[in-house]
């Protein structure tokens, strides 16, 4: 039970980080917001790691995979923070939810996993959901919408590389390495967009990073207490807080097209998840 509470709490917290990022993006460049997310994440996560997971901290065993994983998560953050600086939180997150669909495609082409007709059908349904949201030919398509989709695609690559790391490095090592690599990448870029921060903006960046780190920390703790396969669908709870934050702080409410597209995307993602669990159970019968 505690695993479910921690997991849901983590997903419900993360939209508050996105809300602060969207607010700050109206005052400073989104690149500087990304820098704050990574820099202060390190300042917060290292003490947590040393207090709770000191025995699990070691040098990564698969550096190349860690680098690719961290790079794609960094790209996902860049794309998503740009998207929410232009479009609503709900629209950006809904489009980014394409990631489970992309994971299925990558699993077939990159990991050479068997993907049956049922999962390919779910992929097409999810893609149709994306088309409903952006409605090409009916509304003006902006770069922010494509950026949100790119965030989901980048996150899918991140998930693929995370699968490769699941049996080599601990989750804490992976979390710290992700923060270090992301901080290095963004520190090379941020000087070109830097402006002096007010104390209020600095405190908001610290809050943003703290909320994000705490949310991911709750998710890591939940995965120590419960099975990942049972907790995976709970990630969709993020959209509820996302809509609440968007409405409460920015007056944004999703229109009927976003709700319809979201329903199809969530349906396809959960269906893909159910099919994967069935395949795993079938495979386990032979061991």
What is the pLDDT averaged over residues 114-128? 72
Q: Is 286 exposed, middle or buried (0-12, 13-18, 19+ CB in 10 A)?
A: exposed
- Quick check: 123 pLDDT over 50? yes
pTM: 0.81
pLDDT given for residue 46 in this prediction = 83
- Quick check: 30 pLDDT over 80? yes
Helix (H, G, I), strand (E, B) or coil at 89: helix
CB within 8 Å of 197: residues ≥ 6 apart = 28, 32, 205
pLDDT given for residue 178 in this prediction = 81
Q: Is the separation of the CB atoms in 266 and 236 below 8 Å?
A: yes
Domain boundaries, the chain: 2-284
The encoded tokens of residue 56 equal: 């699990």
What is the pLDDT averaged over residues 41-66? 79
pLDDT given for residue 272 in this prediction = 67
Q: Please tell me the least confidently modeled range out of 80-84, 135-139, 260-264, 275-279.
A: 135-139
Q: Is 233 exposed, middle or buried (0-12, 13-18, 19+ CB in 10 A)?
A: middle
- Quick check: 128 pLDDT over 80? no
The encoded tokens of residue 88 equal: 């609503």
What is the DSSP code string of 193-246?
T--PPPHHHHHHHHHHHHHHHHHHHHHHHHHHHS-HHHHGGGGGGHHHHHHHHH
Q: Is the separation of the CB atoms in 87 and 149 below 8 Å?
A: no
> Would you place residue 287 in the very low, low, confident or very high pLDDT band (cuts 50, 70, 90)?
very low
User: Which of 139-143, 158-162, 196-200, 232-236 reaches the highest mean pLDDT?
Assistant: 196-200
- Quick check: 222 pLDDT over 50? yes
Helix (H, G, I), strand (E, B) or coil at 86: helix
pLDDT > 70: what percent of the chain? 80
- Quick check: 261 pLDDT over 90? no
CA distance 163 to 147: 24
- Quick check: 240 pLDDT over 80? no
Residues 167-176 have pLDDT tens digits of 666 767 777 8
Mean of the per-residue pLDDT values of the chain: 79
> Would you place residue 147 in the very low, low, confident or very high pLDDT band (cuts 50, 70, 90)?
very high
What is the pLDDT averaged over residues 83-92? 88
């Amino acid at each position: 039970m505690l695993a479910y509470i921690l997991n849901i709490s983590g997903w419900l917290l993360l939209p508050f980080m996105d809300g602060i990022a969207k607010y700050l993006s109206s005052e400073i460049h989104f690149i500087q917001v990304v820098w704050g997310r990574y820099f202060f994440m390190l300042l917060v996560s290292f003490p947590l790691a040393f207090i709770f997971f000191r025995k699990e901290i070691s040098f990564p065993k698969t550096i190349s995979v860690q680098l690719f994983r961290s790079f794609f998560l960094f790209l996902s953050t860049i794309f998503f923070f740009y998207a929410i600086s232009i479009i609503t939180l709900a629209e950006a997150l809904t489009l980014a939810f394409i990631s489970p669909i992309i994971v299925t495609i990558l699993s077939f082409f990159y990991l050479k996993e068997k993907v049956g007709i049922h999962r390919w059908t779910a992929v097409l349904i999810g893609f149709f959901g994306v088309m409903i949201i952006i409605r090409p030919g009916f509304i003006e398509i902006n770069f922010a919408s494509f950026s949100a989709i790119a965030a989901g695609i980048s996150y899918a690559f991140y998930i693929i590389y995370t699968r490769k790391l699941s049996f080599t490095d601990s989750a804490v090592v992976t979390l710290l390495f992700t923060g270090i690599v992301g901080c290095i990448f963004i520190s090379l870029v941020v000087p070109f967009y830097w402006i002096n921060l007010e104390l209020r903006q600095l405190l908001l960046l610290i809050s943003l990073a703290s909320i994000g780190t705490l949310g991911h920390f709750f998710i890591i703790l939940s995965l120590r207490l419960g099975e990942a396969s049972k907790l995976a669908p709970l990630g969709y709870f993020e959209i509820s807080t996302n809509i609440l934050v968007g409405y409460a702080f920015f007056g944004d409410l999703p229109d009927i097209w976003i709700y319809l597209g979201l329903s199809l995307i969530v349906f396809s993602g959960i269906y893909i998840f159910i099919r994967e669990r069935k395949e795993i159970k079938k495979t386990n019968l032979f061991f």
